[in-house]
Amino acid sequence: MYKKALTLAVMVALAGCDTPADLKNTNSNVQEQPVLESTEQVVKYPETRKVDVVDEYFGTKVVDPYRWLEDDMSQETAKWVKSQNKVTFDYLSHIPYREQIEARLTKLMDYEKVGQPFKEGKYTYFYKNDGLQNQYVLYRQLGDGREEVFLDPNTFSEDGTTSLAGTSFSKDGSLMAYQISEGGSDWRKVIVLDTETKKQVGEVLVDVKFSELSWLGNEGFYYSSYDKPQGSELSAKTDQHKLYYHKLGTRQSEDSLIFGGTDEQKHRYVQGYTSDDDRYLAISASVSTSGNKLYLKDLTKPDSELITVLDDTKSDTYVVENQGSKLYLVTNLDAPYKRLVSVDASNPTPDNWKDVIPESDSVLNVSTGGGYFFALYEVDAVSKVKQYDMDGKLIREIQLPDMGTASGFYGEKEDKEIYYTFTNFKTPGTTYSFDVNSGESKVYHKSAAPFNADDYQSQQVFYTSKDGTKVPMTITYKKGTHLDGTTPTILYGYGGFNVSLTPWFSPTRAAWLEMGGIYAVANIRGGGEYGKEWHKAGTQLHKQNVFDDFIAAAEYLTAEGYTSSEKLAINGGSNGGLLVGAAMTQRPDLFKVAIPSVGVLDMLRYHTFTAGAGWAYDYGTANQSKEMFDYLKGYSPVHNVHAGTQYPATLVTTGDHDDRVVPAHSYKFVAELQSKQAGINPTLIRIETNAGHGAGTPTSKIIEQYADIYSFTLYNMGVQKI
């Protein structure tokens, strides 16, 4: 049942990118000069109309003067977006080295990047980008034969904004269903191809959202979606997810509703996935992004009732494999670091579970391949991998080339050779083949990036947060950098939704390092680095721990001489955008530059948009209690901008088609900052048009975005030239 095909998003992140030889320069560190007068230019912001909107929560009235910006269908909002972009791009155009940074990024990314291979039917498939292609191309080859293009997303649209958003092959590899995203939207279309002829089979499915595609033989597949909302499809609330079965050759309107259609079965997130032998359908149902119910349907008996595995959402549990009626599940029920258990499908409730790989003191993730389990542990956010047989007997620990992140280790039961990728903050991703019997690893594909990891150093430190908690942080920079507090530094964080920030290589980060900057990543609470308790310690009434951890990371970097407040920028996206917004409003003195990207910034209304209510496990909502309302209002970035305060130079980034975290969050935050900012630090918003939350962003737009982010950052740190 494990989804074997490496997702495109993960593959891209691991592909690696780096510095070409002609740009290597021992004197390439950014050079300090007196602050240019042009960095102190006074920005004239567009006028943002205020309205008299007041909400009342538990007797407290809250004004919302920019509520009108939530209407993404209005001409007034569109006009405001256009005028804000004009001011922003006019400002950026005056930065003398902006084009130089863009040219440098372009050269750094212009080399062949190849993803981890995976086998489907008789073919081996892999993603590849020749260099500057907007989207990765899906290739395949038969044995040692010539590789051929199988699917090229660059042909989907002229500007590269229509992307491949997921693929699923039938068990024998003869059919493939793939999703496309237009303009970055989470609403997807699904197209089926005959893999031999590459011709479309049946009609295109529309209005599919937050969905896996899971085949039942070659007859059809399961998928999930919501009813199309009234009003704006980009911002209207969606909260009843439904699982459907689509039979090839029939119309989508005839698809069978499998789960989620009744009040009793109403959940915000529903997924269905079939076992490799097509014997079982597992159905996961969640009301939030954490915790799921789990049901099982015996597909050998078409009219069989659902079997309940878990009827509450107190754990995260999923089926990873089966041997006949014996199921293997990964769960954090009574095991915050997770464990692998087995149970018979006839009576699969927790009281019958038996440990196969017991819980340890490190977070466990499990993949399958070659008839083995691979335990991918996170030890202080660094990978450690062990191989077990199906009975839970340890076969070996797999030796990795360095400290970093290993991913992959999946394949069919009969495979003798599987693949994995290794990377860290300074090492481009290298793909290895792994012999499941001998345990031998061989380099399958080494990154072509001309980046010399030996020129850089990456070290993990542990610092103390406000309440005494020890928090890990990895700091990467060029060897020979003088730690005298003068080096431009970016501190990155996320801190939510059980997401772990393990070491990974990024082409855009390579450009920052190559220019002589320091890049620090803090593994703050709210993430998954130390299991469920680490996550819970950064949720709801404990969310302030996340911001305290991030602020303490910044204080560590300045106290230890890596940088100073005048040379420190903070960055994060989505939940990380909230992190940046909260940190900069709580400690505006600590940072010179803030880059909140696609952020959740209005904490009193986030749950009223799209699927935002599903984030309540992490945040709570303003309606659930007076205590929760007071807490949210106490840190909500939109509600904590105060007149007369000098905030850091701020560049907010978002996409006008973001239907995950609607751009109104960013619009309202910028409007508050522009009306209340004291001093000369600019407050700008960069709104990418025809773009969403980030996935599938074309290479050309990535280069432009990071050229603007880095030039804005350095310019406002007083860097005159690079």
Residues taking part in catalysis: 574, 693
Output the CA torsion 705→709→710→712 (10° steps): 130
CA distance 64 to 232: 20
CA distance 568 to 487: 8
CA distance 292 to 388: 27
184: left (phi over 0), alpha (psi -120 to 50) or beta: left
Q: Would you state the structure tokens that stand for residue 666, as one six-digit string?
A: 């960013």
CA distance 93 to 497: 37
Cβ atoms of residues 345 and 277 within 8 Å? no
Residue 167 neighbours by CB under 8 Å, 6+ apart: 5, 8, 138, 176, 177, 178, 179, 213
Is residue 215 packed enough to be buried (19+ CB in 10 Å), middle (13-18) or exposed (0-12)?
buried
Chain-centroid distance, C-alpha 545: 21
Query: What are the residue ranges of helices labelled H in 112-228?
Result: none
Cβ atoms of residues 226 and 209 within 8 Å? yes
Cβ atoms of residues 186 and 166 within 8 Å? no
Q: Which of 506, 476, 540, 410 is nearest to 7 (CA)?
A: 410
CB count in 10 Å sphere of residue 251:
11
CA distance 719 to 101: 13
Is residue 636 packed enough to be buried (19+ CB in 10 Å), middle (13-18) or exposed (0-12)?
buried
Q: Would you state the structure tokens that stand for residue 536, as one six-digit string?
A: 């819970």
555 by DSSP, 3-state: which? helix
Cβ atoms of residues 88 and 685 within 8 Å? yes
Q: Which of 573, 609, 692, 699 is nearest to 182 (CA)?
A: 692
Residue 60 neighbours by CB under 8 Å, 6+ apart: 629, 630, 633
Nearest-5° Cα angle at 90, 87 to 95: 130
Nearest-5° Cα angle at 644, 568 to 678: 55
CA distance 701 to 366: 35
Cβ atoms of residues 157 and 151 within 8 Å? no
Please give the single-letter amino acid code of residue 267: H
Cβ atoms of residues 689 and 632 within 8 Å? no
Query: What are the residue ranges of helices labelled H in 397-441?
Result: none
Cβ atoms of residues 613 and 226 within 8 Å? no
Beta strand extents in 493-641 (DSSP E only):
518-522, 568-573, 593-597
CA distance 420 to 365: 14
Please give the single-letter amino acid code of residue 612: G
Residue 471, phi then psi, degrees to nearest 5: -125, 130
